[in-house]
Amino acid sequence: MLQSFNIRRPRRNRKSEAVRAMVEETRVTTDDLIFPLFLLDGKNQKIEVGSMPGIFRFSTDLMLKEVEECMKLGIRAFDIFPAVEDQYKDKTATKSYDPNFFYLRALREIKKQFPEACIMTDVAMDPYSSDGHDGLVKDGKILNDETLEILGKMALAQADTGIDILGPSDMMDGRVGYLRDVLDKNGFTQVSIMSYTAKYASGFYNPFRDALDSAPKFGDKKTYQMNPANRTEALIEAELDTQEGADFLMVKPALSYLDIIRLLKDNSSLPIAAYNVSGEYSMIKAAALKGWLDGERVMKETLLSMKRAGADIILTYFAKEFASLK
């Protein structure tokens, strides 16, 4: 038998719920979360994403109701993505900066009705591009610098609606600095940039592409999204984004890249965001529907793992469900 004076007994700090709560090192709250939402054109539209159980695409009128419900639950930050019909797509994404397009009109209305909400938007060509790529395509190649001019127009149009954070997800070189310069020169110095710093060419994005019908029409995104095998490259991207004026650094996906979250956290003084992407959400939902996992428990554990790895902010489709459990 072990002699009590020779050993420490960590179990003493686990003996009751009250004691466990006192010594708990990591907690996830609704203040940590950003809820991604999908916007549709039209009225009275609420369509579930087939590959994302419990996640819907909303027209503006119902999106306003959804935001209101979430605000009452304690969720105050939303990342809003447009589902654009093919008829509005072209090679240069012209609808992305048309002030009369439904997405920009909706952003104005959301900020008008909920000025206290933090609204984030996506800056990339793929939702509006007939090619389905994040950048301008010519002769089968993604043109970097020519894309920046289009992204600049898009960013200005979004900033003009009153939104709070721009999320350049395109992974073009130099886009953070270009957008920061364009925003500042046009008086939008208070608009933040959350850069998709380490965005990997991942297989976890398919349900998101279903939601927006934004899959590339040819090839893949490996010439601009990062190789999943690389860690050090994330530090290069983080250093560049910081120098160019980013306010937040993001890692995407999150669950399979917890080491990258920790790497950036240990090497940057900027807040680190983690995007708990659609495929990560759908895996848990599918297993829970089959009865193979306790969905609620695994959801909490998954979010906790991202926070514990160093994420200050988590973009997650679980946000409303998590908040509803409080």
Render pLDDT for 138-191 as a digit per residue (tens, 0 to 9): 999 999 999 999 999 999 999 999 999 999 999 999 999 999 999 999 999 999
6 within a domain of the structure (yes/no): no
291 within a domain of the structure (yes/no): yes
47 within a domain of the structure (yes/no): yes
The span from the CA of 312 to the CA of 233, in Å, is 21
15 within a domain of the structure (yes/no): no
261 within a domain of the structure (yes/no): yes
- Parent domain of 272: 26-324
Domain count across the chain? 1
Whole-model pTM: value is: 0.95
Q: Pick the catalytic residue from 89, 95, 221, 252.
A: 252
The span from the CA of 316 to the CA of 114, in Å, is 21
- Determine the pLDDT at residue 1: 58
Q: Pick the catalytic residue from 199, 285, 307, 320.
A: 199
214 within a domain of the structure (yes/no): yes
pLDDT in tens, 69-115: 999 999 999 999 999 999 999 999 999 999 999 999 999 999 999 99
User: Where are the alpha helices (H) located in 23-96, listed in sequence order?
Assistant: 60-73
Decide if pLDDT at 3 tops 70.
no
Q: Is 320 a catalytic residue?
A: no
Q: What is the CATH number of the domain that holds 100?
A: 3.20.20.70
The span from the CA of 217 to the CA of 297, in Å, is 38
SS3 112: helix
Q: Is 199 a catalytic residue?
A: yes
pLDDT in tens, 275-310: 999 999 999 999 999 999 999 999 999 999 999 999
**Mean pLDDT across the chain, nearest whole number?**
95
> What sign has the CA pseudo-torsion 138, 139, 142, 145?
negative
Per-residue pLDDT band for 211 (boundaries 50, 70, 90) equals confident
